[in-house]
Amino acid sequence: MKLEHQKNIQMLNTLRIPSVANAYVNCRSLLEIRQAIAWACDHDKKVYVLGGGSNVIPLQHIQGLVLQPKLKGIEVFVHNNDEVLVKAGAGENWHSIVCYCVERGYHGVENLALIPGDMGAAPIQNIGAYGAELKDVFWQLEALNIQTQQLEVFDFADCDFGYRDSVFKNAKRDQYIITSVTLKLSTKAKPNLSYPALASHLRERGIDNVDAKDILNAVIHIRRSKLPDPRLVPNAGSFFKNPVVSVQQYQTLLASFPDIPAYEVSLTQKKLAAAWLIEQTGWKGKPLDKVLVHKDHALVLTNPSCEIADKVLGLADAIARDVRAKFDISLELEPRLIGEL
């Protein structure tokens, strides 16, 4: 285990926020993770897990131990005649896993192409895009209990998946380090074209017999046309969750804002488009303290000048205040904070 002190992690987060961790370790094995946890316990340090850095806001000074679990490896198991189980280490890149599966004719993850980050973070966030979510293909995961240092298995029911949510963001928050994730995929094509923009893109190109590669390529094209590349423009992707409201609240909003877009979640709930709400408050393309809302996508906050977390959070707070004042809706951050405010 190679422990580093006063580690600059600016290049380890896609917002390029300047941040220094009191201690940092890149763990490439379960043994190294256990050694790192033991060190943190001996030195009374809180453990902060950092994956690919694409969905985090690191504070300027992090007093605890920042641990990156970079466990690698992919295994494939036959589940039954039409299904396979694909197990990957937490440190595998998510998009690379998607491409790996599609190339081998394993179906189910193609709608989730080009989502930045590592495999271990995918179930925490229950990542989702273009009509699909991680939970749709999830089988199980293994995670190390930080307190007991025992490896535990979490099945679907254990994870309590929700919209951009899981048990690891709630009841089990900061208690586990995910070491591997297993997906259940189909060997038969089951194209998911429920997302209108995706179906429209394929239709416009005259693609009728859609397969996983078609969807993969379409999703990559759409994402690249709408979202800035974090390697070129520092950002963390979608900065706010799309708020879910009651049907009653939606009807009240509809009376005042007839054009408000909404998507059915259940018989009693509607999901609103956070980007639309932000646009209505005039923030699209606008800066604050050198942090700005992207000109093409109001849900993306960019940090071209590499400002500190306080300034990024300042813009987020100003946007949330204006949305609350106009619509009486509270926006929730999607990226998580690393460090103590």
Q: Which strand ranges, in their side-by-side order, compose the sheet holding 61-69?
A: 3-8, 20-27, 61-69, 47-49
Q: Determine the Cα angle at 104 with ends 100 and 105, to 5°.
A: 120
238 catalytic? Reply is: yes
Could you identify the residue written with the tokens 């969750």?
241
Contact 327, 253 (CB under 8 A): yes
334 catalytic? Reply is: yes
Extended strands (E) in 262-310? 262-264, 269-272, 287-288, 291-293, 300-302
- The closest alpha carbon to 110, from 121, 126, 94, 122, belongs to 94
The span from the first CA to the last CA of the chain, in angstroms, equals 29
Choosing from 133, 142, 164, 180, which is the catalytic residue? 164
75 catalytic? Reply is: no
Choosing from 279, 324, 334, 336, which is the catalytic residue? 334
| β-pair partners for 240 | 333
- The closest alpha carbon to 64, from 44, 79, 80, belongs to 44
Choosing from 19, 166, 180, 238, which is the catalytic residue? 238
Q: Determine the Cα angle at 291 with ends 285 and 295, to 5°.
A: 15
Enzyme catalytic residues: 164, 238, 334
